[in-house]
Amino acid sequence: MMAGAVQGLLKRIMPQLVILAAALLLNFIVFPDFFHVDFRNGRLFGNIIDVLNRGAPTALLCIGMTLVIATRGIDLSVGAVMAIAGATAASLVVDGHGWFTALIGALATGAICGFWNGILVAVLRIQPIVATLVLMVAGRGVAQLITEGTILTFLNPGLIRLGAGTILGIPTAIVIWICLGAFVAFAVRRTALGMLIESIGINEASSRLAGINSRVLLVCVYLVSGLCAALAGVIVAADIKGADANNAGLWLELDAILAVVIGGNSLLGGRFSIVASLIGALIIQSVNSVILLSGMPPEFNLVIKAILILGILVIQSPKVSYIWYMLRASGPQPQPDRKTPRPHRATEEKTQ
Protein backbone atom coordinates (compact mmCIF):
# COMPACT_ATOMS: atom_id res chain seq x y z
CA MET A 1 0.00 0.00 0.00
CA MET A 2 2.65 2.47 1.15
CA ALA A 3 5.09 1.29 -1.50
CA GLY A 4 2.44 1.72 -4.16
CA ALA A 5 1.78 5.25 -3.01
CA VAL A 6 5.48 6.10 -3.12
CA GLN A 7 5.77 4.57 -6.57
CA GLY A 8 2.76 6.54 -7.77
CA LEU A 9 4.18 9.76 -6.38
CA LEU A 10 7.53 9.12 -8.03
CA LYS A 11 5.83 8.49 -11.35
CA ARG A 12 3.86 11.70 -10.93
CA ILE A 13 6.81 13.94 -10.09
CA MET A 14 9.32 12.34 -12.47
CA PRO A 15 9.12 15.08 -15.17
CA GLN A 16 9.62 17.77 -12.54
CA LEU A 17 12.56 15.90 -11.02
CA VAL A 18 14.17 15.57 -14.44
CA ILE A 19 13.79 19.31 -15.13
CA LEU A 20 15.14 20.12 -11.66
CA ALA A 21 18.12 17.81 -12.23
CA ALA A 22 18.77 19.50 -15.58
CA ALA A 23 18.59 22.95 -13.99
CA LEU A 24 20.94 21.90 -11.19
CA LEU A 25 23.31 20.34 -13.73
CA LEU A 26 23.38 23.63 -15.63
CA ASN A 27 24.26 25.33 -12.36
CA PHE A 28 27.05 22.80 -11.85
CA ILE A 29 28.40 23.40 -15.38
CA VAL A 30 28.58 27.17 -15.04
CA PHE A 31 29.79 27.03 -11.45
CA PRO A 32 31.60 23.79 -10.50
CA ASP A 33 31.51 24.58 -6.76
CA PHE A 34 27.72 24.64 -6.84
CA PHE A 35 27.14 21.54 -4.71
CA HIS A 36 29.83 22.42 -2.21
CA VAL A 37 28.31 22.81 1.26
CA ASP A 38 30.23 24.18 4.23
CA PHE A 39 29.45 24.33 7.91
CA ARG A 40 30.61 27.68 9.24
CA ASN A 41 29.56 29.75 12.28
CA GLY A 42 27.00 27.11 13.20
CA ARG A 43 25.24 27.39 9.85
CA LEU A 44 25.27 25.54 6.56
CA PHE A 45 26.74 27.55 3.70
CA GLY A 46 26.63 26.82 0.00
CA ASN A 47 24.89 27.64 -3.22
CA ILE A 48 22.47 24.76 -2.99
CA ILE A 49 21.45 25.94 0.50
CA ASP A 50 20.92 29.40 -0.98
CA VAL A 51 18.60 27.99 -3.62
CA LEU A 52 16.54 26.30 -0.90
CA ASN A 53 16.60 29.41 1.26
CA ARG A 54 15.81 32.00 -1.43
CA GLY A 55 13.08 29.80 -2.79
CA ALA A 56 11.29 29.78 0.58
CA PRO A 57 8.72 32.56 -0.11
CA THR A 58 7.71 31.11 -3.48
CA ALA A 59 7.60 27.60 -2.01
CA LEU A 60 5.35 28.73 0.85
CA LEU A 61 3.04 30.60 -1.52
CA CYS A 62 2.77 27.68 -3.90
CA ILE A 63 1.55 25.34 -1.13
CA GLY A 64 -1.60 27.41 -0.74
CA MET A 65 -1.76 28.25 -4.44
CA THR A 66 -1.76 24.54 -5.40
CA LEU A 67 -4.84 23.94 -3.28
CA VAL A 68 -6.60 27.02 -4.67
CA ILE A 69 -5.80 26.09 -8.28
CA ALA A 70 -6.97 22.53 -7.62
CA THR A 71 -10.44 23.93 -6.89
CA ARG A 72 -10.32 25.67 -10.29
CA GLY A 73 -9.58 29.01 -8.66
CA ILE A 74 -6.64 31.35 -8.51
CA ASP A 75 -5.36 33.66 -5.80
CA LEU A 76 -3.84 36.84 -7.19
CA SER A 77 -3.72 38.57 -3.83
CA VAL A 78 -0.91 36.57 -2.18
CA GLY A 79 1.74 39.20 -2.93
CA ALA A 80 -0.38 41.93 -1.37
CA VAL A 81 -1.20 39.67 1.60
CA MET A 82 2.55 39.17 2.11
CA ALA A 83 2.98 42.93 2.29
CA ILE A 84 0.08 43.28 4.76
CA ALA A 85 1.36 40.46 6.99
CA GLY A 86 4.92 41.77 6.96
CA ALA A 87 3.66 45.25 7.84
CA THR A 88 1.54 43.85 10.69
CA ALA A 89 4.43 41.87 12.16
CA ALA A 90 6.80 44.82 11.90
CA SER A 91 4.39 47.32 13.43
CA LEU A 92 3.57 44.95 16.33
CA VAL A 93 7.27 44.46 17.07
CA VAL A 94 7.95 48.18 16.80
CA ASP A 95 5.12 48.77 19.29
CA GLY A 96 7.04 46.63 21.79
CA HIS A 97 5.27 43.29 21.50
CA GLY A 98 7.20 40.02 21.46
CA TRP A 99 8.08 38.17 18.27
CA PHE A 100 5.52 35.46 18.98
CA THR A 101 2.67 37.97 19.26
CA ALA A 102 3.87 39.54 16.04
CA LEU A 103 3.88 36.19 14.27
CA ILE A 104 0.39 35.32 15.52
CA GLY A 105 -0.82 38.79 14.58
CA ALA A 106 0.58 38.46 11.06
CA LEU A 107 -0.92 35.00 10.62
CA ALA A 108 -4.27 36.30 11.86
CA THR A 109 -4.25 39.12 9.28
CA GLY A 110 -3.34 36.59 6.60
CA ALA A 111 -6.24 34.42 7.72
CA ILE A 112 -8.63 37.38 7.58
CA CYS A 113 -7.46 38.24 4.05
CA GLY A 114 -7.87 34.63 2.95
CA PHE A 115 -11.29 34.46 4.61
CA TRP A 116 -12.36 37.60 2.72
CA ASN A 117 -11.28 36.06 -0.60
CA GLY A 118 -12.99 32.81 0.32
CA ILE A 119 -16.28 34.54 1.13
CA LEU A 120 -16.18 36.44 -2.17
CA VAL A 121 -15.55 33.24 -4.13
CA ALA A 122 -17.64 30.72 -2.23
CA VAL A 123 -20.59 32.73 -0.94
CA LEU A 124 -20.88 35.67 -3.34
CA ARG A 125 -19.89 33.43 -6.27
CA ILE A 126 -17.50 35.92 -7.88
CA GLN A 127 -14.94 34.50 -10.32
CA PRO A 128 -11.69 33.87 -8.40
CA ILE A 129 -9.54 36.07 -10.69
CA VAL A 130 -11.81 39.03 -10.06
CA ALA A 131 -12.47 38.36 -6.39
CA THR A 132 -8.79 38.21 -5.51
CA LEU A 133 -8.02 41.15 -7.82
CA VAL A 134 -9.83 43.42 -5.36
CA LEU A 135 -7.42 42.59 -2.56
CA MET A 136 -4.48 42.65 -4.96
CA VAL A 137 -5.29 46.26 -5.90
CA ALA A 138 -6.26 47.46 -2.44
CA GLY A 139 -3.89 45.29 -0.38
CA ARG A 140 -0.75 47.33 -0.87
CA GLY A 141 -2.68 50.44 0.10
CA VAL A 142 -3.77 48.70 3.30
CA ALA A 143 -0.18 47.68 3.99
CA GLN A 144 0.88 51.31 3.52
CA LEU A 145 -1.85 52.28 5.96
CA ILE A 146 -0.32 49.95 8.57
CA THR A 147 3.26 51.12 8.04
CA GLU A 148 2.06 54.73 7.69
CA GLY A 149 3.86 55.10 4.41
CA THR A 150 7.36 54.35 5.66
CA ILE A 151 9.57 51.28 5.56
CA LEU A 152 9.28 50.02 9.13
CA THR A 153 12.58 48.63 10.34
CA PHE A 154 12.98 46.55 13.49
CA LEU A 155 15.74 44.89 15.48
CA ASN A 156 13.75 42.27 17.39
CA PRO A 157 16.11 39.24 17.46
CA GLY A 158 13.23 36.73 17.76
CA LEU A 159 11.50 37.94 14.62
CA ILE A 160 14.76 38.27 12.66
CA ARG A 161 15.60 34.66 13.56
CA LEU A 162 12.51 33.57 11.62
CA GLY A 163 13.98 34.89 8.40
CA ALA A 164 17.73 34.83 8.85
CA GLY A 165 18.34 32.46 11.78
CA THR A 166 19.06 28.75 11.85
CA ILE A 167 17.65 25.61 13.45
CA LEU A 168 20.31 22.91 13.97
CA GLY A 169 22.49 24.68 11.42
CA ILE A 170 19.78 24.80 8.76
CA PRO A 171 18.34 28.21 7.89
CA THR A 172 14.92 28.62 9.54
CA ALA A 173 13.15 29.52 6.31
CA ILE A 174 14.08 26.15 4.79
CA VAL A 175 12.85 24.27 7.86
CA ILE A 176 9.57 26.20 7.82
CA TRP A 177 8.68 25.56 4.19
CA ILE A 178 9.72 21.92 4.19
CA CYS A 179 7.78 21.21 7.40
CA LEU A 180 4.68 23.07 6.25
CA GLY A 181 4.81 21.48 2.81
CA ALA A 182 5.17 18.00 4.29
CA PHE A 183 2.38 18.66 6.78
CA VAL A 184 -0.11 19.95 4.20
CA ALA A 185 0.78 17.26 1.65
CA PHE A 186 0.35 14.61 4.33
CA ALA A 187 -2.90 16.14 5.60
CA VAL A 188 -4.56 16.21 2.17
CA ARG A 189 -3.32 12.79 1.08
CA ARG A 190 -3.82 10.78 4.26
CA THR A 191 -7.36 12.08 4.68
CA ALA A 192 -10.17 12.48 2.17
CA LEU A 193 -9.51 16.22 2.06
CA GLY A 194 -7.39 16.09 -1.10
CA MET A 195 -9.98 14.07 -2.96
CA LEU A 196 -12.76 16.45 -1.91
CA ILE A 197 -10.74 19.44 -3.12
CA GLU A 198 -10.10 17.72 -6.45
CA SER A 199 -13.77 16.92 -6.85
CA ILE A 200 -14.68 20.60 -6.42
CA GLY A 201 -12.16 21.49 -9.12
CA ILE A 202 -13.48 18.89 -11.53
CA ASN A 203 -17.16 19.69 -11.14
CA GLU A 204 -18.41 21.80 -8.31
CA ALA A 205 -22.11 21.33 -8.96
CA SER A 206 -21.94 17.56 -8.97
CA SER A 207 -19.67 17.40 -5.94
CA ARG A 208 -22.20 19.53 -4.07
CA LEU A 209 -24.92 17.10 -5.14
CA ALA A 210 -22.74 14.29 -3.85
CA GLY A 211 -22.93 15.88 -0.42
CA ILE A 212 -19.66 17.78 -0.26
CA ASN A 213 -19.90 21.06 1.61
CA SER A 214 -18.09 22.93 -1.14
CA ARG A 215 -18.64 26.39 0.36
CA VAL A 216 -16.84 25.65 3.62
CA LEU A 217 -14.11 23.79 1.81
CA LEU A 218 -13.55 26.65 -0.67
CA VAL A 219 -13.35 29.20 2.14
CA CYS A 220 -10.85 26.96 3.94
CA VAL A 221 -8.70 26.62 0.84
CA TYR A 222 -8.44 30.40 0.40
CA LEU A 223 -7.82 30.70 4.15
CA VAL A 224 -4.86 28.32 3.87
CA SER A 225 -3.55 30.33 0.93
CA GLY A 226 -3.80 33.51 3.02
CA LEU A 227 -1.99 31.83 5.93
CA CYS A 228 0.83 30.62 3.67
CA ALA A 229 1.15 34.10 2.18
CA ALA A 230 1.29 35.64 5.66
CA LEU A 231 4.06 33.25 6.70
CA ALA A 232 5.99 34.09 3.53
CA GLY A 233 5.47 37.79 4.24
CA VAL A 234 6.86 37.46 7.77
CA ILE A 235 9.91 35.58 6.48
CA VAL A 236 10.60 38.20 3.80
CA ALA A 237 10.18 41.02 6.32
CA ALA A 238 12.41 39.26 8.86
CA ASP A 239 15.02 38.65 6.18
CA ILE A 240 15.44 42.34 5.35
CA LYS A 241 14.68 43.41 8.95
CA GLY A 242 11.95 45.70 7.73
CA ALA A 243 8.51 45.84 6.17
CA ASP A 244 8.42 47.39 2.72
CA ALA A 245 4.77 47.77 1.77
CA ASN A 246 5.57 48.61 -1.85
CA ASN A 247 8.00 45.88 -2.76
CA ALA A 248 7.45 42.93 -0.40
CA GLY A 249 6.16 40.06 -2.45
CA LEU A 250 5.89 42.10 -5.62
CA TRP A 251 5.16 39.74 -8.56
CA LEU A 252 5.61 36.71 -6.31
CA GLU A 253 2.02 35.66 -7.03
CA LEU A 254 3.09 35.12 -10.61
CA ASP A 255 6.09 33.06 -9.52
CA ALA A 256 3.83 30.98 -7.30
CA ILE A 257 1.36 30.36 -10.13
CA LEU A 258 4.27 29.51 -12.42
CA ALA A 259 5.61 27.03 -9.84
CA VAL A 260 2.22 25.34 -9.66
CA VAL A 261 2.00 25.15 -13.46
CA ILE A 262 5.55 23.78 -13.74
CA GLY A 263 4.48 21.25 -11.13
CA GLY A 264 2.17 19.83 -13.77
CA ASN A 265 -1.05 20.95 -12.09
CA SER A 266 -3.75 21.99 -14.51
CA LEU A 267 -5.05 25.54 -14.20
CA LEU A 268 -8.46 24.06 -14.93
CA GLY A 269 -8.55 22.39 -11.54
CA GLY A 270 -8.67 18.76 -10.54
CA ARG A 271 -5.76 16.52 -9.65
CA PHE A 272 -2.93 18.22 -7.87
CA SER A 273 0.38 17.43 -6.24
CA ILE A 274 1.90 19.72 -3.63
CA VAL A 275 5.26 17.98 -3.83
CA ALA A 276 5.43 18.60 -7.57
CA SER A 277 4.58 22.29 -7.05
CA LEU A 278 7.34 22.60 -4.45
CA ILE A 279 9.79 21.08 -6.91
CA GLY A 280 8.45 23.62 -9.43
CA ALA A 281 9.36 26.41 -7.00
CA LEU A 282 12.86 24.96 -6.67
CA ILE A 283 13.16 24.80 -10.48
CA ILE A 284 12.34 28.51 -10.73
CA GLN A 285 14.92 29.32 -8.07
CA SER A 286 17.56 27.12 -9.74
CA VAL A 287 16.96 28.88 -13.06
CA ASN A 288 17.39 32.23 -11.29
CA SER A 289 20.60 30.92 -9.79
CA VAL A 290 21.94 29.75 -13.18
CA ILE A 291 21.36 33.22 -14.59
CA LEU A 292 23.14 34.86 -11.66
CA LEU A 293 26.06 32.41 -11.51
CA SER A 294 26.71 32.37 -15.25
CA GLY A 295 27.17 36.12 -15.17
CA MET A 296 24.36 36.57 -17.70
CA PRO A 297 22.66 39.91 -17.18
CA PRO A 298 19.65 39.38 -14.86
CA GLU A 299 17.57 41.09 -17.56
CA PHE A 300 17.29 37.72 -19.26
CA ASN A 301 15.55 36.26 -16.24
CA LEU A 302 12.08 37.30 -17.38
CA VAL A 303 12.59 36.24 -20.99
CA ILE A 304 13.73 32.79 -19.88
CA LYS A 305 10.77 32.49 -17.52
CA ALA A 306 8.42 33.45 -20.35
CA ILE A 307 9.92 30.84 -22.67
CA LEU A 308 9.63 28.29 -19.85
CA ILE A 309 5.92 29.05 -19.42
CA LEU A 310 5.30 28.90 -23.15
CA GLY A 311 7.02 25.53 -23.41
CA ILE A 312 4.97 24.12 -20.56
CA LEU A 313 1.78 25.58 -22.03
CA VAL A 314 2.40 23.80 -25.29
CA ILE A 315 3.06 20.52 -23.50
CA GLN A 316 -0.01 20.90 -21.27
CA SER A 317 -2.35 22.05 -24.01
CA PRO A 318 -5.29 19.71 -24.63
CA LYS A 319 -4.89 20.10 -28.38
CA VAL A 320 -1.25 19.00 -28.40
CA SER A 321 -1.90 16.02 -26.14
CA TYR A 322 -4.76 15.03 -28.44
CA ILE A 323 -2.51 15.20 -31.51
CA TRP A 324 0.14 13.22 -29.63
CA TYR A 325 -2.48 10.65 -28.69
CA MET A 326 -3.66 10.37 -32.31
CA LEU A 327 -0.09 10.03 -33.56
CA ARG A 328 0.58 7.22 -31.14
CA ALA A 329 -2.71 5.54 -31.94
CA SER A 330 -2.13 5.69 -35.70
CA GLY A 331 1.44 4.39 -35.45
CA PRO A 332 2.35 1.11 -37.17
CA GLN A 333 2.47 -0.86 -33.94
CA PRO A 334 0.42 0.67 -31.17
CA GLN A 335 2.60 0.14 -28.15
CA PRO A 336 1.14 1.84 -25.14
CA ASP A 337 3.44 2.46 -22.27
CA ARG A 338 3.47 -0.96 -20.60
CA LYS A 339 6.51 -0.54 -18.46
CA THR A 340 4.26 -0.25 -15.46
CA PRO A 341 2.66 -3.59 -14.62
CA ARG A 342 -0.97 -3.99 -15.52
CA PRO A 343 -2.27 -4.76 -11.99
CA HIS A 344 -1.07 -1.40 -10.79
CA ARG A 345 -3.28 0.33 -13.30
CA ALA A 346 -6.20 -1.86 -12.30
CA THR A 347 -5.90 -0.83 -8.66
CA GLU A 348 -5.70 2.77 -9.71
CA GLU A 349 -8.97 2.44 -11.54
CA LYS A 350 -10.54 0.80 -8.57
CA THR A 351 -9.58 3.59 -6.23
CA GLN A 352 -11.01 6.23 -8.51
Q: Which residues bind other proteins (CB under 8 A)?
A: 74, 124-127, 129-131, 133-142, 144-145, 149, 205, 208-209, 245, 254, 257-258, 261, 267-268, 297, 299-307, 309-310, 313-314, 316-320
Per-residue burial over 302-330, b if 16 or more Cβ lie within 10 Å, else e, is eeebeebeeebeeeeeeeeeeeeeeeeee
The answer to whether 122 and 219 have CB atoms below 8 angstroms apart is yes
Nearest distance in Å: CB 312, other proteins? 9
Q: Give the nearer residue to other proteins in terms of CB position, either 5 or 323.
A: 323
Shortest gap between Cβ of 127 and other proteins (angstroms)? 6
How far from 202 is each of 12, 73, 263, CA to CA, in Å?
19, 11, 18
Q: Return the percent helix, strand and coil in the chain, to nearest 5.
A: 70, 5, 25
For residues 90 and 245, the answer to whether their CB atoms sit within 8 Å is: no
Length of the chain: 352
Radius of gyration of the chain (CA): 21
Residue 138 beta carbon to other proteins: minimum distance, rounded to whole angstroms: 2
Angstrom distance (rounded) from CA 232 to CA 103? 11
Least distance to other proteins from the beta carbon of 133, Å?
7
In the bound state with other proteins, the residue whose beta carbon lies nearer, of 66 and 156, is 66
Give the shortest CB-194-to-other proteins separation in angstroms.
23
